[in-house]
Each structure stands twice: as structure tokens, then as C-alpha cells.
A and B are shown apart, each in its own frame.
Chain A
Amino acid sequence: MAKQPTSESLDLALKGGQARAGFSLDMASRFDVASVVMICVSIVTGYLVLPPLYSVIQTSLFTTKLTGEIDQFTLRYYQDLFRELQVIGPFLNTFYFSIGSALCATILGGSIAWIVVRTDSPLRGLGYFTAFASFGTPFILYTIGWLLLLGKAGPVNYWLKIIFDQTTPVFNVYSMFGMILIESLLWSPFVFLMLAAAFRSMDPSLEEASAACGARMWQTMRRISLRLMLPAFFSVMLLIFIRTFESFEIPALVGLPGDIRVLTTSIYLDAQKLPPRYGSAGAFSVLLMVVVAATLYFYFRLTREGDRYQTVTGKGYRPTLINLGRWRYLTGAGLLTYSIVLLVLPFLIILWASVLPYYMQPGLEGLTKLTLKNYVTALHFPKITDAIKNSVLLGLGSASFVMVLTLLASWLLVRTKIRGRWLLDLMTTLPLLFPGIVMGLAILRFYLFVPIPVYGTLWILLIAFVTRYIPYGIRYTHSGLLQLHKELEEASYVSGASWFSSMRRIILPLMTPSFLGGWIFIFLLSAKELSMSVLLVSPQTPVVSVAIFELWENAQVGELAAFGVIWTAILVTVAIVYYAFARRYGIQQN
């Protein structure tokens, strides 16, 4: 527990003063609680994460027989990977794509979050609504919507051609720019939800102090607000960076037609071979794991002095809204544009496709052919009500379980000094790197052989979802908890409260923004999950995403669009319920 005193930590220790010393003493008596929580959280997390981890590593090192049995040890997948890495083109493309998307999504989602949470800008209500509704749209549909919108024959190019008086398409969506654009739009709701939570828990007194010292608003933002948000920014960027680095959907749908190759392109083709070769995907994720482990280790060292980011303290904490003055029209317009670009445009094109017998570019011709046939097809889908019920149940279950588990894990990471807790951090981040199919297979095999009767039930899906979404939960709760000053907890202990009641009455209420933000995010994610669901559902447990998958493999765009519109409507209803709920619990403060 003893650490080398650095000038920084000494400095902080001095600043922390008495309260800090008191806590250390108190910590001794709390240590047993921390240990118990650590043991419980580690067991649960380990139980969920280690079997798939083992599987991923094994997959990367052995060839498998068709029967799934391990065959021969091989380093071939790693050799292939390193050969691939030496080809500079795909590697650079992957890098640009991931960095570009992470930056754009963070800047976009972050600005919107700041406007919605911290300013008196008009139209702030749009922020949450847009985030939920756009995030709820099935992924494949959203991408195809964008391709139709930005394609050579699409309306955007149509108008650009007229404006710039050109005969050939002006904007080529099948380009690096198109990839980054769509990917960052796709992730911006996630950034928004996460940073909105972080902004909400920011103590404005620091900003006020800066303003009182004569700093301009931009100076305050740059030197105070943005710095306080560093952990949250880091968390969000790390997640998006990893996800885009290993993603192949956008690269394959948007990049491939424009001949832009990324590292995952060949993995994607390899997985099509027979017998299926998941080794390349396995080796790729093992390599990413090493990189992420190193990143997390250094990040952990950097934020070890988490006190610097604690902005919610015992001193009257009340977030105030920044008065924008005349700028508010600009921010209002910004919100409106964001909403239109992220939600309205793709949704309109999807809606348009859903009422046509076949796809036509928006125009008068289509208006004469409107039909509801696609809706009839979509609603006749077998077991659709069961699927909706199951998906909602699974969403509720996995969101709640993940958030509770990761809140406890974050508490351990942020509040305790237990040795090796960075390993817990790593373990809770790893599932992000497991290829969906490998993880799905691992879970399938595990529960076929382990005598726990969950196979073929909703429980196995719940286990899979919880494992998959732990990384998101941990990012939300970790950055949220970093902002809470420990003196609040200490005050509770000093007043004689038990650990449990401090948790329930102090931490949880103060964490509500991040907690609910993460909750709704995981709910929406699990509604869309596909790669594992397809393997784990049984005829008795249909879920919506699999139904959509069935459509997207073979359906015409119109039928898929009709289904998407219905599903988006359901998720928007959930969003509205959440909104009402959030208002009641003070998430939405007006």
C-alpha cells in the first residue's frame, strides 16, 4: 500500500489535509468491506470473462476441427497478422479511420452534450431524444440509409450537382471521409450520453473561480472544464478507438466499394472460409488486448491521483447553466442541425424506403406508388410479439445487472488501494475485444458442457449480454465516480453509516446521471446485439435483433425499413418513458 511520494502526491496530500488523513485511518476499518466486495466482484467478473478469454486465446493458437475440437498448435494466425501489419496501406487506413472516428465522434457528441447540459441554449430537449432514437435504429439499416442518402444517385449528390453545376457526382461516400463520417455519426450518441453524465456532475465553482479571475469563457473551457473532463474524454475515446479499430461493418460496406482496405478486411474474408477460421480474428483480438492492457496500465498510473478530477464535493454542489447570451441562437441552430443530420435525414430516407414497393430516389414518381405492403410483411413476422417481449426483458436485465456490477467494480478501482486492481480494470475491459462470434461460441460450448441448465433459455443470452457490455458499464461508472469527492463518503462513514447505506444513500444518488446514462445505453445496445444472439437463441426464445437479421440477409430494403421504423418507434417510447423518469430524478434539470 505504501507508494513512493512524488511531488504531485505530496502536493495533493497537503491539499487534502485533515480529511485525507482521517480517511486513511477509517480505511483500515473499512478494509474488510472492500475485500469482501473485491472478492465478490472479482468472482462474478472472472466467471463471466475468463471462459471466453480462454477461448479467444485458444482459438488464436490452434487450428480447430469442424467439430470445434482443438486440432494442432499453430502460430500461423499470428504470422499472417504480422505480415498484414507490415503492409503499410491497410495499417495506416485502419489507424486514420479509428483516430478520425474517435476524434470526430468525441468532438461532435461532446459539444452537443455541453450545450445540452451546461448552457441555456434553446432546443436542449432534442439532444436526448435524438441520441436515443438514432441509436435505436438497427445498425445495418442506418448504414444503408446513409449510403442511399450520400450515394452517387442519392439526393445529396443530386443537390450538390445542381449547386455546383456539375454532371458527375460531387461527393464520393465510398471514401475514407465517408467512412469516418458515418462511423462517427454512429458513435456520437454514445459520446453524448456519457459526456452529458460527466458534464452534469461538474462543479461549476471552479469555472466561476476562473471567470472571477478574469478568464474569458474560452479560456475557462480550455483550462478548467476540458481538463476536469479528461478521464471522461479518455474513456470515451478509448472505447470508440478500440471499437472502430476492430470493426469491419463500416469498412466492408463503405470502404470496400471504394477500395479502401483496413486490417479487418482480410479477417472478414478469412472467417468465411470452411471450416470457419476464427484464428485470425482471435490473433487480432489478442494483439489488441496487449495494446489495450498497456494503455490501461499507463492510464491507471496517470489517474492514480484521481482527486484531481473530483468535482462533486461537500461544498454546495449545484450545476448552474451558462448564460450564452446571443450565442444561444447559434447553439440552438447547432442542436437542430445535429438532430436533422443524425436522426431526421436517415430516418426520413428509411421511412421513404418503407412505403415504396421498391427503392426509388426521393421524388414525385415515388409519391404515386406509396404502399403499406412492407408493414404488413414486417408485422406478419413469426413470433414477433414474443421477440419484442424477450428483447425488452433482456435489455432490462442486462442493463441493470451490468450497471450494478460495474458500479461496485468502479468503486473498488477508484476508492480503494487494493493491489492489482488494475487487473480488474483490464478484466472489465477485455470483453470489448472478444470477437462476437468467438465469444458466442465459447458461451455456447461452455453451457452445453457445464451442468448449469441455462442452455436454450433466455438466461444464456442474459449471461452473454452482461459479459459483452461490462466494458461500457465500467466506462460510465468509472468516470462518474472519479468526479465524486471521497469526502462525501467519508462524511457518511463518520456519521456512522454502514458501507451499504453509504452506497445506497450517497454514492448511488450522486451517480444517477452516469448510472442511468450507462443503463439506457446498454439497454439500447442489447436490443441490437446480433453476433452472439444468432447462436444462442432457441426456437422458444426469439429476439428482435435476430428477426431483423433474418430480414437483412434476404429482404428487400423496403421490408427491412418497415421493420426498422416499427422498432425505432418502440425504442422511442422507451426513451420517452426514460425521459419522464429522468426528469423525476433530476437528470434533466430545467
Chain B
Amino acid sequence: MTPRLGSFSILCALLAVLAGSHLAPAASVEEVALMNRADRQKILVEGARKEGKVSWYTTLIVDQVVRPVKEAFEKEYPFIQVEYFRGNTERIVQKMIAEYQAKRYEADLIDGTVSPTMVRRAGLLQRFSSPLFAEYPAELKDAQGFWGATNLYFFATGYNTRMVKPNEIPKTYEDLLNPRWKGQMMWSTSRGSGAPMFVGTILNTMGNEAGKAYLQKLKQQNVAKTSASNRQVLDLTIAGEYPLALQMFNHHAYISKAVGAPVDWIAHEPATATINNIGLGKYASHPHAAMLLIDFILSERGQRVYQQSNYLPAHPKVPAKQVDLKPGGGRFKRAFYINPDQQYDKGNDWTEYFENLFMK
């Protein structure tokens, strides 16, 4: 072990010298992240010019939104190149943590519904402050500045319009208990976007006792479970396998409906909502460029890129492209926001509760 560590630290020292030689008096990541002065923008731009790039570990779909964001950002800052690495939550977190431990600071930014929180719990996330935070309500930003919201997900029940008559559409959570739906519903077992989040919403909004009683009744409905993603569950509903798909992203149903699929969505009040958020790596190699990208994404301009890509912008002033996909847009009023910390801390309990009740 010792010789390896020895040569490794020599290598690191060398790298540090090399890095230091051309990035003269480098400010620490923390200083850059928490900078709060009038000429902040100017300093960020100067620093970013030297850095030349920013690397973003993302869970978002490259073709749908990452590339448009990259293009819009690079148009505004032509001297910064955005590099991205896409994977699911677990993989990008594992990759980033492993790299940081080996002192390869390849990731500057990380996003996802729970990935920044995981990195933070590993002690590798940096608090930051952005003037844009002022534009967001409390539930859409971290009080300590570990993350900012980029876009939102709202869950709804998807239904096959040929199999479900208009007067049958289950409008409330209670309606799902109608014997008509016994054996007619399907949901995904995915922790972050499936049944466990449904369980969490019910337990939190109905209260523990009433919530548990409700879930007991739902169990009698024999909801079919699958490990497929909720997009695929919705596709099975469109194909006519199950009339109802629980806990779907409402925008997925909307996208399919727009091309003519026999599907629509109905939100039950309050609808589950999760927050896609972005955080800064503690040892980011390009902190200036990273802060510029965060600012851009949180700004109205950046949020419009999400909007145009059919993602649901987090910024209160930027409506969804299809307005009624967000609460207050006409189709549902309230959402239960499951913030990243809750999702991390409570997610296991909800998954376990789901497993014990519905899988045994």
C-alpha cells in the first residue's frame, strides 16, 4: 500500500504544481461558490475564460435537454465548452465519488432528483450562492445553498381513453379503490419515480394512520408491479394491457397524447412532485465556469430552454410549454413536493413499506 500511495502523492504534487503554474493565484472552490460582491459576474467570466470548460454529470436526457442547454450556454459564453456525462442517479454518483476519492476531479456539476444529495452526504458537495436564488420559493432551493432546482416532475394517473369512459375517470385517490379497477392498474417499482413515492405522498398528506389504512385498501386492488420504468408502464397502458397506469409523469402522457395516442392523465390532489436539482462538486476543477452554468440554468433564459424542450421549468415565472402540466395551470392545484433530502432520508422507509405491503 505505502509505495503506491507514495508515488501517488508525488504524482498529485506534480499535478498540483503543473496546475498551479498556469492558473496563477487560483481562488478556492469555496471562495468562488460563495462569492457575493458587486463584480461577481466579472470575476466569474474572467476565471471561466481561463478554465475554458465545465463538466456536468447529468441524469437528464442528452438529446432532449442537455444538448439544447449546452448550445444556449455556449452561445452566451463562447469561450466555455460544456462537457457532459450522462447516466442514472446511482452510476453518476458512484463515478463522481470514486473519481474524487482518487483525486481526479473530473466532475464540476451533478444533477438529478437525489444525486446531489448523495454526493453531499459523502461530504463532497460545495455550498454555493447565486443571485438567482432570490427568484425561487423556499421549497425549490436549499436553505444552505447545496442545490438549486432546475426542473420539476409531477405524477399523475395515466389512463387509456378507449378503456376508461369519461364518467369512470378516477378523480381522487379514493376513486382508485373502486372495485372497477381491481387488477386493472399497474405501477413501476422504481424508488425515485414509482410506487415508493406514491406511498410517501399518501403517508405524508393523509397522515400516518389514514394513509396506512388507505394503502391497505389499495393493496386489495392487486396493482400489478413491474421493474420497467414508468414510461414503459405508460406504453403498456397505451397498448391496452392495463387501463390505468399509476404514478406516471404527466408530461409523458401529454407527449403521447399529442401524437394521437389514446391516453390522458388525471392528477389526484395533491399530486406527488419531485425536484430535479443541481449541485457543485467540492473540488470542482472549473468553479468559475460551473457557477456561470448554474446561474444560466436557474435564470429565466435558461429555464426557457427547459421549457422549449418540454421539460417542466422550476422557475415560478416560467410556465410549462403546455401550461396545465404545472399546478395552477388549470388541471390540478396542489402538489406535494418531495425535496431531495426527504427523498434520500425517507425513501428507504417508503420502499420498505411498499415492499412489505405490496410485494409479500
Interface residues of A (CB under 8 A from B): 65-68, 144, 147-148, 151-154, 174, 248-249, 252-253, 256-259, 261, 265-266, 268-269, 272-276, 357-361, 369, 377, 380-382, 441, 444-445, 448-451, 455, 534-535, 538-539, 550, 552-557
Complex Cα distance A535/B91, Å?
Answer: 6
Q: Are B4 and A535 in contact (CB under 8 A)?
A: no
Q: Assuming the A-B contacts A358-B256, A360-B239, A361-B240, are A256 and B85 also in contact, with contact meaning beta carbons closer than 8 angstroms in the complex?
A: no
Minimum C-beta distance from A539 to chain B (A) = 5
Q: Are B98 and A358 in contact (CB under 8 A)?
A: no
Contact A550 B227 (CB under 8 A): no
Are A556 and B83 in contact (CB-based, < 8 A)? no
Q: Closest Cβ of chain A: how far from B61's Cβ, in Å?
A: 5
When distances are taken between beta carbons in the complex, the residues of chain B under 8 Å from A253 are 226-228
- A67 to B124, alpha carbons, bound, how many Å? 9
A359 touches B238 (CB 8 A): yes
Give the residues in chain B near A359, CB-CB below 8 Å: 235, 238-239, 261
Q: Given the interface contacts A67-B101, A274-B114, A382-B63, does A148 sit within 8 Å of B239 by beta carbon?
A: yes
A90 to B225, CA, bound (A): 16
Contact A257 B232 (CB under 8 A): no
By the criterion CB–CB under 8 Å, are B62 and A550 in contact?
yes
Chain A residues within 8 Å of B8, by CB: 449, 451
Residues of chain B within 8 A (CB-CB) of A369 are: 260
Q: Report whether B239 and A550 are in contact in the complex, using a CB–CB cutoff of 8 Å.
A: no
State A67–B101 Cα separation when bound (angstroms).
Answer: 8
Pair B351/A538 contact, Cβ less than 8 Å? no
A557 touches B232 (CB 8 A): yes
Residue of A at shortest CB range from B5?
A449
Known: A273-B351, A534-B91. A151 touches B236 (CB 8 A): yes
Contacts A358-B256, A539-B83, A550-B86 hold; do A256 and B102 have CB atoms under 8 A apart? no
The smallest beta-carbon distance between A369 and chain B, in angstroms, is: 7
Of the four ranges (under 10, 10 to 19, 20 to 34, 35 or more), the interface on chain B belongs to 35 or more
**A448 and B62 in contact (CB under 8 A), knowing A257-B186, A539-B85, A557-B232?**
no
Which single residue of chain B is at the shortest CB-CB distance from A261?
B359
- By a beta-carbon cutoff of 8 Å, the part of chain B in contact with chain A is 4, 7-8, 11, 61-63, 67, 83-88, 90-91, 94-95, 97-99, 101-102, 104, 114, 118, 121-124, 186, 189-191, 222, 224-229, 231-232, 235-236, 238-241, 255-256, 259-261, 263, 344, 347-348, 351, 355, 359
Tell me if B229 and A552 are in contact (CB < 8 A): yes
In contact, A357 and B260 (Cβ under 8 angstroms): yes
Interface hub of A153, A261, A265, A556 (most chain B Cβ within 10 A): A556
What are the 4 tightest A-B residue pairs by CB atom distance, in nearest-first order?
A153-B240, A252-B227, A358-B261, A448-B102
Kindly state the separation between the CA atoms of A413 and B63 in the bound complex, as whole angstroms: 50
Task: Give, as a whole number of angstroms, the nearest-CB distance from B22 to chain A.
Answer: 22
- Could you say which residues of chain B place their CB within 8 Å of the CB of A555? 231
CB-defined contacts of A273 to chain B, threshold 8 Å: 191, 347-348, 351
Alpha-carbon gap, A550 to B86, bound state (A): 8
Query: B225 contacts A256, CB within 8 Å?
Result: yes
Complex-state Cα separation, A276 to B359, whole angstroms: 20
Contact A151 B4 (CB under 8 A): no
Closest to A538 in B: B85
Q: What are 15 inter-chain pairs, A to B, with CB distance below 8 A? A: A67-B124, A144-B232, A253-B226, A256-B227, A268-B189, A272-B351, A274-B347, A357-B261, A359-B238, A359-B239, A377-B63, A441-B98, A445-B98, A451-B8, A550-B61
In the assembled complex, how far is the CB of residue B311 from the closest CB belonging to chain A, in whole angstroms?
Answer: 11
Contacts of A68 in B (CB 8 A): 94, 97-98, 101
With the chains together, A449 CA to B4 CA distance in Å?
8
Given A359-B238, A359-B261, 14 more A-B residue pairs with CB atoms under 8 Å apart are A66-B118, A66-B122, A154-B239, A266-B359, A272-B191, A272-B351, A274-B114, A274-B348, A448-B98, A449-B4, A451-B11, A455-B104, A535-B95, A556-B235
- Nearest residue in A to B64 (C-beta to C-beta)? A554
Nearest-CB residue, chain A, relative to B100 = A67
CB pair B189–A448 under 8 Å, yes or no, is no
Nearest residue, chain A, Cβ from B67: A382
Residue of A nearest to B344 (CB): A274
CA distance A360 to B118 in the complex (A): 40
B91 touches A450 (CB 8 A): no
Distance to closest chain B CB from A63 (angstroms)? 14
Q: Which residues of A contact B229 (CB under 8 A)?
A: 552-554
Most buried by B among A66, A152, A357, A360: A66
Asked if residues B94 and A535 are in contact (CB atoms below 8 Å), the reply is yes
Q: Pick the most buried of B118, B190, B232, B240: most chain A CB atoms within 10 A of its CB.
A: B232
